Amino acid sequence: MSTIYDLNAAEQVRSDAFVSGEIPVAIYGLGKMGLPLAAVYADTCSNVIGVDVDPDVVTAVEAGDCPVSGEPGLPALVEQTVEEGALRATTSIDAAANEAMIHVAIVPTLLDDDRNPDLSILQSLLENVGPQLDTGDVVFVESTVPPGSCRDEIFPLLEETSGLERGDFGLAFCPERTSSGQAITDITESYPKVVGGVDQESTEAARIVYEQLNQKGVIPVSNATTAEAVKITEGVFRDVNIALANELAELADPLPVDFKEVADAANTIPFINLHQPGAGVGGHCIPYYPYFLINWIHMEFPLLQTARNVNDSMPDFTVDALHSQFEATNQDIKNARVLVLGVAYRGNVAETRAAPAKPIIERLSKEAREVFVTDPVIDDLSDFEGSEIKLADIHEKDFDAVILVTNHEKFDGINWDSFDPLIIVNGRPSATISSEKHRVYTIGSGLQSNGKL
């Protein structure tokens, strides 16, 4: 039987063996990113066993159902690949690891309460996979990890638990570079896959496999640590860039100047890529990954930490902006009924992890008379304080103020003219509030109209 980790075998032979399904694949973690990855693998090689510790996830996938929402194309691909027998699912790590020759780990790697990278889920998974590894197997880690993890932690762990030696099996870091809401296209065609192994054979094995999955091809880098650094660098670039936009957005008040207009003009030079300011940075990537350097590598990262502090301060900046507008109109926020539009961390995405809406609502609940919360893409708002209100019902209620935290497309349908004059803080400059009637303060753009208040 062919293996993928075998430099002596011709590349074409290994590639053909992979796409023909001769080389079984296990994908560990069938979450928001793991299930799309498993479905794309299954569509490519027809021999995938997905593993998840959550029996409900496994039951759903086995039935051809898709437990992950908000990913276009995913339900159809899961249904198709399960029906074809290309994708199966199990809760048994041992059974899947025993069968598979390619092992892909895409389980959560988060931060602990002190913001130290927490690799315990990944480590415990690989402690179970290790004893099942055979000569010629390869492990691909897709979960984001701090640079150096494959070399210093994961490879030694696999060596110890498998009893195999360097050269018997492969390990490559192949970072997930996808965004929620576009996983399938990101995995298959948006941009190339970056791969880096602990040895040349591992990098080659990863290149051969991912060239079959990704139409944009593969960028093989020197080693696993480089691939890990690529992923973290992408995250910290975004965080620092957003922090710069957030800091410069404050120029809107003293100058005054519309930062959006400034950024749009500045960005016409190719090497400038200013991001947009906003009410805060959420999701489980950008706010977390800077700590994969700050709290892992023994050196100072003053810029990264400052960027984190700036971005973490934006929910307060947003509520402060609301206070300023109340003061400017001689009103007291204590008497105000405030509507919060959106709890998702990003527009049109059903995810609330580290969402800036949380601290915004917490503070408003203490400072305003009543807080209402609506989000058309999040079914369960029980994690958030305030009274839930359906988007369809907001026109029936009287509010004194609105904070737009998330730029969901569904908010474009709000009939702003139907409300009595409001104070509005727009926390997403890409969202337009089309009414002259209200007093609108947009982060980065400042006070847009004097309104009627």
Ligand X SMILES: NC(=O)c1ccc[n+]([C@@H]2O[C@H](COP(=O)([O-])OP(=O)(O)OC[C@H]3O[C@@H](n4cnc5c(N)ncnc54)[C@H](O)[C@@H]3O)[C@@H](O)[C@H]2O)c1
Where along the sequence are the contacts to ligand X (CB under 6 A)?
28-34, 51-54, 57, 93, 106-109, 121, 124-125, 143-144, 176, 178-180, 285
Q: How far is the CB of 291 from ligand X (least distance, A)?
A: 13
Residue number with the smallest Cβ distance to ligand X:
31
Q: How far is the CB of 123 from ligand X (least distance, A)?
A: 10
Calculate the dihedral angle through the C-alpha atoms of 4, 5, 10, 12, rounding to the nearest 10 degrees: 30
Q: How far is the CB of 250 from ligand X (least distance, A)?
A: 29
Q: How far is CA 396 from CA 8, 41, 125, 368, 386, in A?
A: 71, 48, 51, 20, 17
Smaller CB separation from ligand X, 97 or 431: 97
Specify burial of residue 103 (Cβ count, 10 A radius: 0-12, 13-18, 19+).
Answer: buried
Q: How far is the CB of 154 from ligand X (least distance, A)?
A: 13
Smaller CB separation from ligand X, 103 or 439: 103
Q: How far is the CB of 106 from ligand X (least distance, A)?
A: 5
Measured at the CA of 190, the angle between CA 177 and CA 25, to 5 degrees, comes to: 60
Measured at the CA of 336, the angle between CA 332 and CA 337, to 5 degrees, comes to: 170
Smaller CB separation from ligand X, 143 or 149: 143
Q: How far is the CB of 376 from ligand X (least distance, A)?
A: 21
Smaller CB separation from ligand X, 136 or 175: 175
Q: Which residues neighbour 7 within 8 Å (Cβ) at sequence distance 6 or greater?
A: 200, 201, 204
Q: Which residues neighbour 265 within 8 Å (Cβ) at sequence distance 6 or greater?
A: none
Strand bridging mode 48-51 / 87-90: parallel
Smaller CB separation from ligand X, 176 or 239: 176
Smaller CB separation from ligand X, 106 or 205: 106
Interior/surface letters 342-365, b for 16+ CB within 10 angstroms, e for the rest: bbbbbbebbbbebbbbbbbbbbbb
Please give the radius of gyration of the chain, using alpha carbons only, rounded to the nearest integer. 24
- Helix crossing, 200-213 with 11-19: angle to 10°? 50
Smaller CB separation from ligand X, 112 or 436: 112
Q: How far is the CB of 71 from ligand X (least distance, A)?
A: 10
The size of the chain, in residues, is: 453
Smaller CB separation from ligand X, 73 or 108: 108
Which of 22, 19, 56 has its CA nearest to residue 40? 19
Q: Which residues neighbour 334 within 8 Å (Cβ) at sequence distance 6 or greater?
A: 367, 368, 369
Smaller CB separation from ligand X, 3 or 180: 180
Q: How far is the CB of 428 from ligand X (least distance, A)?
A: 19
Q: How far is the CB of 145 from ligand X (least distance, A)?
A: 8
Q: Which residues neighbour 105 within 8 Å (Cβ) at sequence distance 6 or greater?
A: 28, 29, 122, 125, 126, 129, 139, 140, 141, 142, 143
